[in-house]
Copies of this chain bind each other. A is one copy, B any other.
Amino acid sequence: MSTNDPFEITRQRFDLPPDVIYLDGNSLGALPKGVAERVGQAITREWGAELIGAWNTSGWVDMPRRVGDRVGRLIGAPAGTVVMGDTLSIKVYQALASALELRPDRRVVLSDSGNFPTDLYMAQGLIASLDRGHELRVLEPEAVEAAIDESVAVLMLTEVDYRTGRLHDMKRLTEKAHAAGALVIWDLAHSAGAIPVDVSGAEADFAVGCSYKYLNGGPGAPAFIYVAPHLGETVRPALSGWFGHDAPFAFEPTYRPADGAERMRVGTPPVLALAALDAALDAWEGVDMAALRRRSMELGELFIARVEAGCPELELASPRDPARRGSQVSFRFADGYAVMQALIAEKVIGDFRAPDIMRFGFTPLYLSEGGVERGAAILVDVMRSRRWDQPRFRQRSRVT
Please list the residues of chain A having a beta carbon within 8 angstroms of any beta carbon in chain B.
15-17, 20, 22, 24, 27-28, 30-31, 35-36, 39-40, 43-44, 46-49, 51-56, 60-62, 86-90, 93, 97, 101, 113, 116-118, 120-122, 124-126, 128-132, 138, 210, 212, 218-223, 236-242, 245, 249-255, 266-274, 276, 344, 349, 351, 353-354, 397-400
Contact = CB atoms under 8 A, between A and B. Distances in A.
Contact of A236 (B17, B128, B268): B128
A129 B270 contact: no
B354 A220 contact: no
Given A87-B241, A122-B241, A272 B47 contact: no
A87 B272 CA distance: 14
Contacts of A88: 267-268
A312 to B, nearest CB: 27
A87 to B, nearest CB: 3
Nearest to A236: B128
A238 B273 contact: no
B15 A268 contact: no
A219 B272 contact: yes
Contact of A398 (B120, B249, B255, B267): B249
B272 A242 contact: no
A31 B15 contact: no
Nearest to A15: B48
A249 B212 CA distance: 18
B52 A349 contact: yes
- The residue in A31, A47, A126, A138 that gathers the most chain B C-beta atoms within 10 A of its C-beta is A47
Nearest to A361: B52
A130 B126 CA distance: 10
Closest 5 A/B residue pairs (Cβ): A87-B267, A125-B240, A89-B267, A89-B241, A219-B271
A236 B351 CA distance: 31
A24 B40 contact: no
A263 B132 CA distance: 24
A27 B249 CA distance: 13
A15 to B, nearest CB: 5
A398 B354 contact: no
A86 B221 CA distance: 11
A351 B397 contact: no
14 contacts: A15-B48, A17-B49, A30-B51, A31-B43, A31-B44, A43-B218, A43-B276, A52-B349, A52-B351, A87-B241, A120-B254, A121-B241, A219-B270, A249-B400
A28 B56 contact: no
Contact of A220 (B122, B128, B252, B270): B270
Contacts of A60: 219-220, 399
A220 B271 contact: yes
A90 B267 contact: yes
A260 to B, nearest CB: 17
Contacts of A236: 125, 128
A124 B254 contact: yes
A268 B210 contact: yes
A365 to B, nearest CB: 15
Contacts of A124: 240, 254-255
Contacts of A128: 236, 238
A241 B93 CA distance: 10
A121 B245 contact: yes
B272 A220 contact: yes
